[in-house]
Amino acid sequence: METDFSLQIERAAYEEFVRLWSQGSFEHQRLGQAFYNHFNLHKLADQASLRSLYEADGKKALRLILILFHLH
């Protein structure tokens, strides 16, 4: 599934986030919420496209991350 919403995140930064998530560093947050907060996505102008990510958890959040972001 492709999108025109082409945000980029360094693969190493994403992998660090995943490591922190697996260690429980984002206690009391959904996966999408933790990703949003960790990468300071509130600073981006197009919040409508990110709202569903913020509200998502688990597999849905992972799927949205890979749809919305290009890892390089």
What's the residue count for the chain?
Answer: 72
Output the pLDDT for position 57.
97
Classify 70 as helix, strand or coil: strand
State the residue range of the domain holding 34: 7-71
In a domain? residue 50: yes
Asked whether residue 2 is domain-assigned, the answer is no
How many distinct structural domains can be found in the chain?
Answer: 1
Residue 1 lies in a domain: no
The set of residues, in sequence order, having a beta carbon less than 8 Å from that of 49 and lying 6+ positions away, is: 5, 68
Over the stretch 5-46, which tens digit does the pLDDT of each residue have?
579 999 999 999 999 999 999 999 999 999 999 999 999 988
pTM of the model: 0.89
Q: How far apart are CA 64 and CA 49, in angstroms?
A: 10
Do residues 38 and 7 make contact, with C-beta atoms less than 8 angstroms apart?
no
